[in-house]
Structure 1
Amino acid sequence: MHLIDVDHPLVAHKVRLLRDIETPSPLFRDLVAELVTLLAYEATRGVRVEETEVQTPLAVAKAVRLLDPRPLVVPILRAGLGMLDGMMSLMPAAEVGFVGMVRDEETLQPFTYAERLPQDLSGRQCYVLDPMLATGGSLGGTVQFLVDRGADDITCICLMAAPEGIEYLRTVVDPIGVPCTLVVAQIDDRLNEKGYILPGLGDAGDRLYGLAQ
């Protein structure tokens, strides 16, 4: 697994604002979209393209375009939805699938409750969106899910990650043999006893959309 810890002053500035308990949900959503666009710039450096030509007003120029099949963006519900606009603003030609995965708060293990993905992902590059890489169960389970359907290149984009989650994800993806990249804005200190990232920013889904109880 290739880890990219994005080191950029604008990324660090937006992370600070996300952490602030006083940041309201509307601003939080805007910041997430902005931050994901910055992360996506790094995450898509290896996106597959082919050479082509384009007619300018003056001459024919060499160019590139995205290869078919188009990249597939996969937000993990529900918090991953908050990252989708930022990703699609940079790569609007990508297609979108969804995975609903939730963590059992007692066992800390994930289970899938919904999915909307092509049955055959052969030859597809996939970009998985998950704000918080805590224990790693949800993200690791999603990566395995995509590989089982034929995905051959996966990039995971997270706002924050705990060292424990990074190492768990590495134990999942390295034996698979499919290229996997993890792009993060911030690596935090550790997990607490409930499996939340410290110092973190709280529950990303709740801060994006409210408690929804």
Structure 2
Amino acid sequence: MTIILRKATEQDIPLIAALASKAFHPASDWITRQIFPLHLQPPTVPDGEAALPWRLSRKTASLRGPNTASIVAIDTALNDQIVGFALWDLPVGEEETEAEMVTPAEAELPADVTDLKAYAQLQNLDFIGVDPNHQRRGIGRALLSWGIEQATKAGRDCYLMATPQGRPLYEDAGFEVVRPLDMFGVMHHSMILKAKSVNGTRA
């Protein structure tokens, strides 16, 4: 078994969207269940797939955005099957200006299966996703390490929002809690990994 990370391509988008639907399924993911309540999911659509067109549009916008890095983890023993993905927001470089930063158009939510009031409270739905059938293989850690390495090379801090389940992974990587944030009754944490804390000195 070999896991390889590479940049996502246009051809990967449907697979990433489908993986996100499994990794962030309303039956198992608390936040997704608030945004896409199970009672709104139509019985004629396969379980958890009502939001798939929205995820597809959202991942397309992310891939095409110049300020986002879309990374996939593939398993070479499974014919290069995508088993995880990460979406990283990239900072504006020192030589760039705020006006030059491009933000992809937000994908339109499927109003009939979405709790729009709940979504309005949300900042980001997902950044790192791992196929439930391939968890506990170090895939999430590898995707996280990729982003940390890029931030370290650039001498930049790294920010993220951690779920209760993800917090131990981020703390092991050196992230520190900035502040807690109550999201739908579950405590999440805004976390930071300062560039100097990666190797003791600022790059």
The TM-score, its normalising length taken from structure 2, stands at 0.33
Bigger RCO of structures 1 and 2 (CA < 8 A, at least 6 apart): 1
Give the structure with the larger helix fraction. Answer: 2
